[in-house]
Structure 1
Amino acid sequence: MKKIISVLMVAVCLMMAAPAQAQLHFGVKGGLNISKLSFSKDAFKGDNKTGFFVGPMAEFTLPIIGIGADVAALYSQTDLGVDGEKTMKLKTFAVPVNLKWSFGLGSMLGAYIAAGPQFDFNIGNKTWTRELSLKKSTTSFNVGAGLKLIRHLQLGVNYNFALSKTGTYEYYTEGESGDGHHSVNIKNNTWQVSLAYLF
C-alpha cells in the first residue's frame, strides 16, 4: 500500500508541475494479457495463457514537443501454465507509470511510444499448491507503442517483463543424494493489447 501511495503522489506532483498549456486527460483502459512463465532452470516450460486487465488512467502531454506521462490503476487477471498441466489464476492490482512520446500522423491520427516501471500487487491466492508460491508484490517494466485515433481512442501493444521474481516453484526428485528437494524461481512476462478511451 505504501508503494501505491508513493507512486500516485509522484504522478500527481508531475502533473501539477506541468506548464499551464499541458493537456491533462482521464479515461478508461482495458485489454488482453498473453502471459508466459520463465524459470531459472530448464526443468520446466511455461505455457502461453490469456487474461484481461481494466481500470482508470490519466495522461498529460506537452502539446508542442509531445512528451508526457501516463499512470493507471488496473485490475489484471491471467492464467499461468506449467508444462501443459498445472494451471493457476494470477490476480493483481497493477500500477504502470510510463513516460510517453506522442507525435502526429495527420489531423485525426497520431502515434506514441512509451516505457516505464510497473508495480504489481497480488490480490489473489499467494499459495496455489504445495509446490508453487507467489510473491505479494513485484516490479516489472513496460515497453510499448500504439496509435491515437480521433483524439480520444488509443490502441496499443505493450511488452511487460518482470524485474524481480514472481514466485517460487518447488519440486522433489527421487534417487538423488540428499532429500531431492529443488527450488526454482519463476518470472511472469506478458504481451498486452490495449484499448483506451480518454475524455
Structure 2
Amino acid sequence: MKKMIRAALLVAVMMLTISAQAQVKLGVKGGLSVSDVRVSGDIFKADNRLGYFIGPTLKVSFPGIGLGFDVSALYEQREARLTETAIKAHSVVKQQQVSFPLNTRYSIGLGRSTNIFFFAGPQVSFNVGDKTKSIINRAAEWRLKTSNFSVNAGAGATVLSQLQLSIHYNIACGKTGEVTMDSGTFRFDSHNNAWQLALAYFF
C-alpha cells in the first residue's frame, strides 16, 4: 500500500511540474478548405469547391517533451456542386457549421522559434445554416444532420514563435447528410470530408 501511495504521489508531482511548465497561447486561425463530398451510388457526381473557416484557437505545449494540444472554435463554410448524371442537372450545396477540433500535437524543434509538428484528434461540428435544400430542379432534397463527428490528421510548421501554417485532412465518421428523390423513395448517404489549409497567429 505504501508503495502505491508513493507512486501516486510521484505521478501527481510530475503532473504538477509539467503543468507548471506548460505554455498557453491564445490566437486566431483561418484558412481555406476543399470539400471532398461523396454520395453513395452512381446517380450523383460531386464537384468540390473552395470554402473557408475562421475562429479563435488555444494552444498548450509542454517544452522539453514535444507534446501538446490545441482546441479551436471555428465557423466553417463548405461547398460542392452536385450533378445528376442522367439529366446533367446540377445544384450548388452549402454546409455552414461551427466546429470544435481538439488535436494532440507532437513538435520537433528546429531552433529557438521554429518547429515542425504533427497532429491528430477528434472534431465535433454543429450545422448552423440551412439543413434542407431542394436541388436538381426540385427533383431531389439535400438534408444535413444537425451535428457530426469527424477526425483530423495533418502536419505543419511554426515560425517566429507566433505564426503557424498547417494542412490536414478532415474525415467524417458516418454520414453527414443524405440526398432523397421521389419524396423519399430513394435515399443516398452523403459524406463531407475536406482538405484544409490553415494559418494561425498566436498573441
TM-score range (shorter-chain normalised) is 0.7 to 0.9
Paired residue for 1:193?
197
Are the structure 2 counterparts of residues 143 and 180 from structure 1 closer, same or farther at C-alpha, using a change threshold of 3 Å?
closer
Whether 1:56 and 2:56 are equivalent positions in the alignment is yes
One-letter amino acid of the counterpart of residue 162, structure 2: H
SS at match of 1:51: strand
1:39-78 mapped onto 2 (5 Å cutoff): 39-78=39-78
User: In the alignment, is the contact (CA less than 8 A) between 1:37 and 1:45 conserved in 2?
Assistant: no
1:181 Cα offset (Å): 2.5
1:151 Cα offset (Å): 0.4
Whether 1:25 and 2:29 are equivalent positions in the alignment is no
One-letter amino acid of the counterpart of residue 198, structure 2: S
Whether 1:158 and 2:187 are equivalent positions in the alignment is no
1:17 Cα offset (Å): 9.8
Aligned identity (percent) is 42
One-letter amino acid of the counterpart of residue 28, structure 1: V
User: In the alignment, is the contact (CA less than 8 A) between 1:77 and 1:89 conserved in 2?
Assistant: yes
1:18 Cα offset (Å): 5.5
Structure 1 residues not aligned, in runs of 5+: 1-15, 173-178
Number of residue equivalences = 178
Q: Distance in 1 between matches of 2:184 and 2:82?
A: 20
Q: Distance in 1 between matches of 2:46 and 2:131?
A: 19
1:36-115 mapped onto 2 (5 Å cutoff): 36-83=36-83, 85-115=90-120
- Provide the TM-score with structure 1 as the length reference: 0.84
Q: Distance in 2 between matches of 1:107 and 1:42?
A: 52
Moved more, 185-194 or 102-111: 102-111
Paired residue for 2:5?
none
Are the structure 2 counterparts of residues 18 and 74 from structure 1 closer, same or farther at C-alpha, using a change threshold of 3 Å?
farther
One-letter amino acid of the counterpart of residue 110, structure 1: N
Q: Distance in 1 between matches of 2:128 and 2:100?
A: 13
SS at match of 1:20: helix
Instruction: Describe the superposition over 1:136-157 as per-residue Cα deviations: whole angstroms up to 9, x where unpaired.
Output: 0000110010010110000000
Paired residue for 1:167?
177
Structure 2 residues not aligned, in runs of 5+: 1-15, 84-88, 135-139
User: In the alignment, is the contact (CA less than 8 A) between 1:156 and 1:193 conserved in 2?
Assistant: yes
Paired residue for 1:144?
154
User: In the alignment, is the contact (CA less than 8 A) between 1:153 and 1:198 conserved in 2?
Assistant: yes
Q: Distance in 2 between matches of 1:124 and 1:189?
A: 18
Are the structure 2 counterparts of residues 180 and 55 from structure 1 closer, same or farther at C-alpha, using a change threshold of 3 Å?
closer
- Provide the TM-score with structure 2 as the length reference: 0.83
1:169 Cα offset (Å): 0.3
Are the structure 2 counterparts of residues 22 and 169 from structure 1 closer, same or farther at C-alpha, using a change threshold of 3 Å?
same
Instruction: Describe the superposition over 1:56-87 as per-residue Cα deviations: whole angstroms up to 9, x where unpaired.
Output: 00011110011011000000112122128210
One-letter amino acid of the counterpart of residue 132, structure 1: W
